[in-house]
Structure 1
Amino acid sequence: MFLDSLPESAALDELDLRLVTVLQGSPRADWREVGAALGVDPSTAARRWARLSEAGNAWFSCYPTGLEGVPLIVAFVEVDCAPGRLYEVAAELAGDPHVFTVEHVTGGRNLVLTCAFGSLAELARYTGMRVGTLPGVAASRTQIATALHTEGSRWRLDRLSGGGRGGPVRVAGRTEPGRSAVRRDDQELVQVLAEDVRQSVADLARRTGLSPTTVRRRLRRLEDSGALVFRCEVARSLSGWPVSVSLWCAAPPGETARITAHVSGMREIRLCASLSGPHNLLLAAWLRSIDDIHAFESRLVASVPELRVADRAVTLWPVKLAGHLLDPTGRRLGSVPLGRWDQSAVAAAEAALLGRLPERHPPG
């Protein structure tokens, strides 16, 4: 599935990297604004982006941080695969719409999934009746994110210093993501927008049946409230930060707030999450080279002596990122629209399990 028609390797030049940086800060900016920030003609900026996108070297994601009336539970699921079944399992799980990322990693697990659920019961059904029964899965372990302190939408290439003639364009999502949720009457607009982040207000209005004024007002509210996240991603192998490492850490509970605030501000950090397990912090960092892994860990521990690194894993293949399917070099191949998990497939298994439980009799 993933190995068909892999694109050839190609480096990005400085203008490409600066273009991605601008679009990371303002994904829906007009090409005139983008061109001004880069010091190039708008048509040049648009043409450059089309080339990057068509090659799978850069792309957009758009998703809500929560839905009105639906609690959001983020979980990290570690999966051990039977010999020879790893990519079969990865391809199957990458097709699940609520699975945000799938990574093939080194160390004591084969795959790490990042998933979103509407309840603990939904998480239990997925890990026990979907992952746990999937052919090729030998074992799995799950931890819940009790807090997300920073995540990939906030990471930037930062290639604009001394670059373009114009000032920086506006930044989307000025408040912290997760402070609000997408209202039910906004869900259709969000679904349409996720297909192409740069659709015009007129196109969004036509496709949703809303007026342009209403679309513009709702988009502004969604962005300003942090209910909607935009991401402009670049293939990791072409970003200048080709190595991704995950660190499971232990921090004193009383120091967690201070430690996570410091760690989240480090240049390399893409993810900082508090966990429910004995290793209560999960960090993910993009680094310049394999040689940087131990150097980065040394800097991390030196700056936060209370932090203990308990385990580490290097990503070998980012199979899925924010709903997009990637090749082994991190280029985009396609997408799986993010959404809630359809639990109907496990209904029979759940009924069979409940049928085997002892019958409860009322007291007396």
Structure 2
Amino acid sequence: MTQHSGHGPVRNSAHGAVRALDDVDQALVHALQIAPRAGWNEIGAVLGLDAVTVARRWHRLTEAGAAWISCSPSPALAANGQGLLAVVEVDCASGSLLTVARALAELPHVTAVEHVSGDRDLLLTVMATDLAALTHWVTRGIGTMQGIVATRTHLASTVYTEGSRWRLRALDRTQITRLADTGTPRTDTPVFPLTDLDHALVGALSMNGRATYRALADACGTSPDTVRRRLGRLFAAGMLQPRCEVARPLSEWPVTVILWGRAAAAELESVSRAVTGAREVRLCAGLTGRNNVLVVAWVKSLADAQRFEVRLAQRAPGLDITDRAVALWPLKLSGHLLDERGYRIGGVPLDARTADATRRDPEES
């Protein structure tokens, strides 16, 4: 996986295609979804393979853009007052959609960019350090970009589940338990203020969640021991979320559906918890605004999208679905750039602080 310490994009060179995941590949991806930073010896022992074999398999998948491991700040940071997450709808002028989408995908604080069906052209997921930074970027940054006609911003009040918890189902319960025991345990360590080094580590890990302490130290200009201590503390406090992703065509759920809905304020948490129990759901978040629930799910087909909505209504009858869309092309996911098929072709290291950049414009000082 490419290493990168700056804010610019990293792009893969040409690579061989992976058209399907065999049983071993599926087991490997499932294992890394549970324990993204576990050693190859540990992974191999659980899968009944040697470390060299699993490492070679993983290298093949990453080189093909078929699977990758990223890392992002957890919702615990926002809950602690360190940053926020927003969903921004973007309407583009005729003929400008692709240009606008690619420009937005290059921004480190825009974690996801999706071209979607329905009443908006693009759907963005955006990190910012605070409301002032987000407002300034929406008005002075994206608000002045050529080709954008209108934007609508919704704040995520609570994230009930997100992509790091989504799983393939290739392993048995015993294997899952063994892998879960290899991860960094969450402790009572309180959330603490991020330092510049922590932000640099987030950026580097967002491009390669399995990067070694030595590689991270080289990228961030510090020592491996310092990296080990900082990451140990960050993971123990639940401030980082590594996640293993797979190209959508290689999963059983190649279609991404996005649902907006409403629930009574008193029922919002119970409804959202019910929604998160659905296997297909990758994201469920509470939003500010007329629609106060956002659901993102992977389903098997367009026809299955309708069946999923029926199943969701049965699971969470207190949720009234008011709008729906299908992701036509997710150009960016958790910092990683994807082609039209959903394979990784590069990435932009995550950094919520870049939303603040327009406030430091020398012409305004």
Alignment of 1:51-70 (within 5 A): 51-65=60-74, 66=77
Tell me the residue number matched to 2:4.
none
Tell me the residue number matched to 2:305.
293
Q: CA deviation at 1:8?
A: 4.4
Amino acid of the structure 2 residue aligned with 1:313:
A
Tell me the residue number matched to 1:153.
164
The answer on 1:306 being equivalent to 2:327 is no
Q: CA deviation at 1:202?
A: 4.6
Larger Rg over CA atoms: 1
Contact 2:156 2:285 in 1 (8 A): yes
Q: CA deviation at 1:266?
A: 1.4
Q: Counterpart of 1:56 in 2: which secondary structure?
A: coil
* Greater Cα shift, 327-336 or 338-347: 338-347
Q: Counterpart of 1:341 in 2: which secondary structure?
A: helix
Contact 2:257 2:326 in 1 (8 A): yes
Tell me the residue number matched to 2:52.
43
Q: CA deviation at 1:121?
A: 1.6
Q: CA deviation at 1:303?
A: 2.0
Amino acid of the structure 1 residue aligned with 2:111:
F
Tell me the residue number matched to 1:356.
none
Distance, in Å, in 1 between the alignment partners of 2:80 and 2:324 is 36
**CA distance change for structure 1 residues 206 and 127 in 2, over 3 Å: closer, same or farther?**
closer
Q: Any gaps of 5 or more consecutive residues in structure 1?
A: 353-364
* Greater Cα shift, 7-16 or 26-35: 7-16
Tell me the residue number matched to 1:338.
350
Tell me the residue number matched to 1:30.
39
Tell me the residue number matched to 1:18.
27
* Greater Cα shift, 186-195 or 303-312: 186-195
The answer on 1:118 being equivalent to 2:129 is yes
Q: TM-score, normalised by structure 1?
A: 0.86
Tell me the residue number matched to 2:191.
180
RMSD: 3.1
Tell me the residue number matched to 2:6.
none
Q: CA deviation at 1:71?
A: 2.5
Amino acid of the structure 1 residue aligned with 2:88:
V
Q: CA deviation at 1:163?
A: 9.3
Q: CA deviation at 1:308?
A: 0.5
Q: Counterpart of 2:241 in 1: which secondary structure?
A: strand
Q: CA deviation at 1:93?
A: 0.5
1:262 aligned to which of 270, 274, 278? 274
* Greater Cα shift, 343-352 or 325-334: 343-352
Distance, in Å, in 1 between the alignment partners of 2:229 and 2:68 is 25
The structure with higher relative contact order (CA 8 Å, sep 6+) is: 2
Tell me the residue number matched to 1:219.
231
Q: CA deviation at 1:252?
A: 0.8
Q: Percent identity, please.
A: 44
Give the total of aligned pairs: 350
Q: TM-score, normalised by structure 2?
A: 0.86
Amino acid of the structure 1 residue aligned with 2:39:
D
Distance, in Å, in 1 between the alignment partners of 2:62 and 2:325 is 29
Distance, in Å, in 1 between the alignment partners of 2:119 and 2:42 is 47
Q: CA deviation at 1:218?
A: 3.1
Tell me the residue number matched to 1:210.
223
**CA distance change for structure 1 residues 346 and 90 in 2, over 3 Å: closer, same or farther?**
farther
Contact 1:271 1:283 in 2 (8 A): yes
